[in-house]
């Protein structure tokens, strides 16, 4: 039986990943799930993020998805490994769950010249230490500085990210990380919500600092994965359809998502348990 590729995020941020994936792989079918009723995940404990993410994965599997992308760094950092290693063999070992951290880490080794990299993420992602650990496994010569940005996701979830009030919180976290390590030449937007703040962040950083967002990296990595795994690819439907689900109000999700995706969408309600 064929099914859609599932894309999961705590809220709207994963839409930035979905957009790039659909650009790269337009023939495939997708189901997007935003757990907006319980977003943000960024300040939540390991146990809570893990249990919410597992519920989301099970729900997407119940929709028939053979493959689920956790388009959320917080969920990738706190839940992915346990789901892959402990839960998947019990639920259905023929399905796959992938995250967004690995494709990002693989890419940065080739773009930093100073070998000093900054990570911007939610408190959950930063406290997990996942980025420094994964980067240093692949590139032991890179120095990693991390900064949590607890106010950035709420700005996006409340559609305040283009307002001038957002500048204060953008400058605050950028100044902190660049002051701690003046050799940083690459900053990673390690949260799928942050591309929505990208224009303002670019204004806040020196011109010699590169800003990396994950959408294209995750899309390229998924295309490569499907090419290398024909047994999964063959189970993915290819009618170019996309459905959207939210745990919050369908109307609110549809109107916000339409702003982020710059096109009208319809959304349906999902009940996670
Ligand atoms: N978009 C998510 C991420 O990439 C998380 C946002 C949140 O719920 O705090 O980390």
CATH of residue 133's domain is 3.40.50.1860
H/E stretch holding 55: helix 46-62
H/E stretch holding 168: helix 165-180
> Quick one: 129 and 181 in the same domain?
yes
The band of 268, judged by pLDDT with boundaries at 50, 70 and 90, is very high
Residue range 123-152: mean pLDDT, rounded:
96
Q: Given 170, 189, 214, which residue is the final one in a domain?
A: 214
| 193 Cβ closer than 6 Å to some ligand 1 atom | yes
The average confidence (pLDDT) of the chain is: 96
| 41 Cβ closer than 6 Å to some ligand 1 atom | yes
> Quick one: 250 and 203 in the same domain?
no
Q: Is 242 a catalytic residue?
A: no
> Quick one: 220 and 93 in the same domain?
yes
> Quick one: 188 and 265 in the same domain?
no
> Quick one: 66 and 111 in the same domain?
no
Residue range 257-273: mean pLDDT, rounded:
90
Strand partners, 210: 186
Q: Is 72 a catalytic residue?
A: yes
Pick the catalytic residue from 65, 149, 191, 242: 191
The band of 219, judged by pLDDT with boundaries at 50, 70 and 90, is very high
| 195 Cβ closer than 6 Å to some ligand 1 atom | no
- CA pair distance 54, 251, nearest whole angstrom: 25
> Quick one: 135 and 93 in the same domain?
no
* Backbone dihedral angles phi then psi of residue 120, each to the nearest 5 degrees: -110, 125
Residue range 39-55: mean pLDDT, rounded:
96
| Ligand 1 atom closest to 191 (CA) | 4
The residues near 228 (Cβ < 8 Å, ≥ 6 apart) are none
Token duo for residue 41: 């995940």
- CA pair distance 230, 248, nearest whole angstrom: 35
What's the domain range around 77? 5-100+216-269
Whole-prediction pTM: 0.95
Looking at residue 262, what is its pLDDT?
81
């Amino acid at each position: 039986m064929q099914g859609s590729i599932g894309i999961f995020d705590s809220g709207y941020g994963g839409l930035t990943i979905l957009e790039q994936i659909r650009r790269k792989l337009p023939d495939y079918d997708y189901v997007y799930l935003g757990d907006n009723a319980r977003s943000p995940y960024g300040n939540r404990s390991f146990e809570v993020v893990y249990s919410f993410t597992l519920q989301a994965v099970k729900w997407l599997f119940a929709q028939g998805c053979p493959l689920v992308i956790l388009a959320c760094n917080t969920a990738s950092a706190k839940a992915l490994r346990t789901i892959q290693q402990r839960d998947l063999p019990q639920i259905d070992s023929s399905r796959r769950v992938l995250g967004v951290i690995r494709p990002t880490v693989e890419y940065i080794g080739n773009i930093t010249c100073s070998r000093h990299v900054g990570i911007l993420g939610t408190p959950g992602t930063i406290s997990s230490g996942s980025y420094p650990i994964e980067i240093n496994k692949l590139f032991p010569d890179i120095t990693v500085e991390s900064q949590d940005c607890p106010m950035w996701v709420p700005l996006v979830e409340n559609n305040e990210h283009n307002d001038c009030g957002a500048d204060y919180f953008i400058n605050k976290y950028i100044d902190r990380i660049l002051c701690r390590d003046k050799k940083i030449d690459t900053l990673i937007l390690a949260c799928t919500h942050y591309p929505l703040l990208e224009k303002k962040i670019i204004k806040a950083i020196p011109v010699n600092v590169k800003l990396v967002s994950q959408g294209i990296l995750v899309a390229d990595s998924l295309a490569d994965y499907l090419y290398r795994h024909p047994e999964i690819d063959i189970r993915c439907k290819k009618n170019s359809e996309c459905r959207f689900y939210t745990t919050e109000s369908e109307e609110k999700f549809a109107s916000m998502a339409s702003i982020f995706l710059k096109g009208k969408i319809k959304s349906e309600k999902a009940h996670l348990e």
